[in-house]
Amino acid sequence: MGVMIALVLAVCGVTGSPTVTFRPETASTDVPADPNIVPQMAKNTEQEQLLVIEVPEEDVMETGELNPNQYPAQRAAKVVQHYLNTRHGSPFKLFGLQRVHGGNAEDVADSGRKYQLEITVHEIISNAAQKCSVEVLFPRGEKQRSADVQASCEELLKINTTAQEQALYEQFKTNKSLVSAQYLPDSHGHIEPQNKPLWHLGIVASSFVMLKESSENSLYNMAQVVNITQQATEDDHLKFDCHTLLHELVSQEIVPWKLLFTWSPAEGVKVVQMEQLPHCHECEKPPNSD
């Protein structure tokens, strides 16, 4: 197999590494018109441009049995983490990819490439871990479609965080003022205990973006919640506005996103609006003091 793969790869040439270009920001078509969101002025300079991580079309990923040490399986597995967080994440429940054991990938005609993986997922707060069989289908053709994930990690989903979530929800609801926090974690990786649920909410909301943006040629992690601010709402659920930084490993870019989302124990996290912010070349963000 080793020799065959080498030949195949030689013929295909170098693998698709993402190229990064910068295009002038235009009104995002994803974002519905909302009087509360003032769109950034589109400037045709280098200063304010949206990062476009262009994924080459070449089909150069491994098919067949996957080496868990190598990136194809790792990238597909990370998508599962984002998927689980969008579905089941909460201020007290967060999933992380712990380990990739093995798997295989195959092309599915007219669909894309399907990965079947054995992975270990852990729930970070309780530190419980479970081995799960998962499937990730990266679609072909339709650029905007995000990966399809099938994952059941039943044991982990049984972890009961209802009481804590309800208590937090009550706390927010009875609080006279709206909460907000900045730089979670701070430069030193520190988060005040009372801000941890906010950080977790930021991660869960960001997971919707990371799931949507992930491909075989990218790997997303949360870099930092720049700020998260509770919004007033008449509804039962709580509402938050947050500005987060995502780290895309392959291009090494820090991608800023703005998210408006809701949370309640009953409904979980739902993203109302997501908007990629202009790439900030010289971000003079005030750092946290040492």
Partner 1 sequence: ASQERSKSSHIVALFNKKIKDNRTLYVHLNSGEKKNKCEYLDFWRDVSNVDTPVDIRVPAHSLQSVKLYLETYEIGYSVMIEDLQAMLDEEQQEMDSAARSAEFFNTDSFDFSNYHTIDEIYSFQDQLVAENPNLVSKIVIGQSYQGRDLNVLKFSTGGSNRPAIWIDTGIHSREWVTQASGTWFAKKIVTDYGRDPALTAILNQMDIFLEIVTNPDGFVYTHTSNRMWRKTRKPNPGSSCVGVDPNRNWDAGFGGAGASGSPCSETYRGPSAHSESEVKSIVDFVKSHGNLKAFISIHAYSQMLLYPYGYSYTPAKDQAELHTLAEKAITDLKSLYGTSYTYGSIIDTIYQASGSTVDWTYNQGIKYSYTFELRDTGRYGFVLPANQIIPTAQETWLALMAIMTHTNNNPY
C-alpha closest to that of 179 among 165, 163, 196: 196
> What residues form DSSP beta bridges with 247?
221, 254
**Range 49-68, binding partner 1 (CB under 8 A):** 49, 67-68
Q: What ranges make up the beta strands (E) of the chain?
A: 19-24, 48-54, 64-66, 95-108, 112-123, 128-139, 148-151, 180-184, 220-231, 238-248, 253-264, 268-276, 279-280
> Pick from 110, 154, 235, 284: which binds partner 1 (CB under 8 A)?
284
> Is residue 221 close enough to count as binding partner 1 by CB under 8 A?
yes
Tell me: does residue 99 bind partner 1 (CB under 8 A): yes
If one asks whether residue 285 binds partner 1 (CB under 8 A), the answer comes out as: yes
Residue 102-121 contact track with partner 1, rule CB under 8 A, x = bound: --------------------
Rounded to 10 degrees, what is the CA torsion of 88, 90, 92, 95? 50
3-state secondary structure of 81: helix
Tokens of 26: 């235009």
Q: Does 287 bind partner 1 (CB under 8 A)?
A: yes
189, 193, 232, 235: residue in contact with partner 1 (rule CB under 8 A): 189
Q: Does 6 bind partner 1 (CB under 8 A)?
A: yes
Compute the least distance from the CB of residue 249 to partner 1, in Å.
Answer: 7
How far apart are the C-alpha atoms of 15 and 50, rounded to whole Å? 25
Q: Is 127 a binder of partner 1 (CB under 8 A)?
A: no
Write down the least CB distance from residue 188 to partner 1, Å.
5
Q: Does 158 bind partner 1 (CB under 8 A)?
A: no
Cα–Cα distance measured from residue 68 to residue 118, given in angstroms and rounded to the nearest whole number: 9
Closest separation in Å from C-beta 32 to partner 1: 30
d(CA 184, CA 202): 9
Closer residue to partner 1 in complex, CB, 124/271: 124
> Is 247 a residue that touches partner 1 (CB under 8 A)?
yes
If you search the block for the tokens 């590494």, which residue do you land on? 17
- Which residues lie near partner 1 (CB under 8 A)? 6, 9-10, 14-15, 17, 19-22, 45-47, 49, 67-71, 74, 78, 96-97, 99, 124, 185-190, 221-224, 245, 247, 249-254, 279, 281-285, 287-288, 290
